[in-house]
Amino acid sequence: MRRLACLLASLLLLPAAAAAQSRPSGEMFTNAAVAAGITIPRERCAELEAQETATWVTLDNEGDSKGECLRYYAAGLRPGVNPIVAAWMHGDIMGSRPTQIGHQEGLGVAAMIAQEQALSDRFQVPFVFLARPGAYGSSGTFWTMRHSPREAALMNAHLDALKARYGIASWALGGHSAGGTLTAEFLARRRDVRCAVIASGGAAYRAYLEAHRHPALARPETWFDPYDSLDRIPKDPGRRVFVIGDPRETNVFFRTQRLYFDGLAARGHAAWLVPLERAPAPKFHSLVDFGETATGLCARGEGTDAILATLKAMPDQRARISN
């Protein structure tokens, strides 16, 4: 008994690796909650923070005191210090109507943590899934907050909070579709991005809207365009940017993805345009597996030629729920 007591006492004194990991629960995501908008009181968010799956984010410095409880699902983080962490930002879970919801139904906290654990094990780096406002358990109303300047500010503040909490020195940021738009935007807002992977992303967002004659063009205050921020991206020869897309794409047209890449190249940034005819029909839009792979390999420090060769050798994009 004394030996067991000593063992338990010593374990309590050790900085357990699990303390920096997201803890699974029975919480499931539902499309009904997304449609209604998700509200999480500060007290409930504190409980989720203790489970390492949430951050309470405010924008007080921008005159926005309304907080949001933004969710994340992490694996592989070390207590105290993490030199580089791979983070993935998902695309939209709504289409052109607020009732057109997909991707997250059937998933929950445990499944997301398991997904990130598999990625962390595969690439041997910490991996984090960042849930945008109103999706995958985060508070907010996805229909009105997606693509907005407030969403970008909240997600950027979320990165800051996680960086402080886990001692993260640098990020390998990846994102699909609108998550890729955020990734591109953060190139101009942050100096701690070592890798950026934009998969099927609307990084030239105005060009995307113009291609579809989208009514949002009449309300430019409701969206942001990373293309307009190209001149504010700090010079960093050690940072790599991968713009990945399918030339057959009918949603975010490949020519708009090339436009953003050309802007990067013209300004001397280390960037690669990666055309892959590997996305599923009919829109040829999803290249999530390829984006996650490039993010993980870049975070691990693999050479660019090796990353490009790996992407080229991968099978076509598989069917999956999370995006």
**Which domains are delineated in the chain?**
73-313 (3.40.50.1820)
Average pLDDT over residues 14-30: 75
pLDDT at residue 38, rounded to an integer: 98
Tokens of 283: 């829109």
pLDDT at 80: 87
Write down the pLDDT at residue 61: 78
If you search the block for the tokens 């430019």, which residue do you land on? 220
The pLDDT value given to residue 133: 98
Q: Residue 65's pLDDT is what?
A: 77
Predicted confidence at residue 5, as pLDDT, reads 35
Q: Specify the pLDDT at position 291.
A: 99
User: What is the rounded distance in angstroms from the CA atom of residue 265 to the CA atom of residue 288?
Assistant: 24
Among 94-108, 129-143, 161-175, 298-312, name the one with the lowest average pLDDT. Answer: 94-108
pLDDT band at 10 (very low <50, low <70, confident <90, very high): very low
Closest CA to 200 of 319, 119, 307, 289: 289
Q: What is the mean pLDDT of residues 74-95?
A: 96
How many residues in the chain? 323
* 3-state secondary structure at position 171: strand
pLDDT > 70? residue 25: yes
Report the pLDDT value the prediction gives residue 123, as an integer from 0 to 100.
98
Q: Comparing C-alpha atoms, which of 138, 147, 154, 137 is closest to residue 189?
A: 154
- What rounded mean pLDDT belongs to the chain? 93
Please write down the long-range contacts of 102-107, taking CB distance under 8 Å and 24 or more positions apart. 102/31, 103/321, 103/322, 103/323, 104/29, 104/31, 104/34, 104/135, 104/136, 104/321, 104/322, 105/29, 105/30, 105/31, 105/321, 106/28, 106/321, 107/28, 107/29, 107/136, 107/321, 107/322
Burial, 287: exposed, middle or buried (Cβ in 10 Å; 0-12, 13-18, 19+)? buried
Peptide bond into 282 cis (omega under 30): yes
Two structure tokens written together for 127? 């991996």
Of 149, 263, 138, 283, the closest CA to residue 198 belongs to: 263
Q: What is the pTM of this model?
A: 0.93
What does the pLDDT average to over 233-259?
A: 98
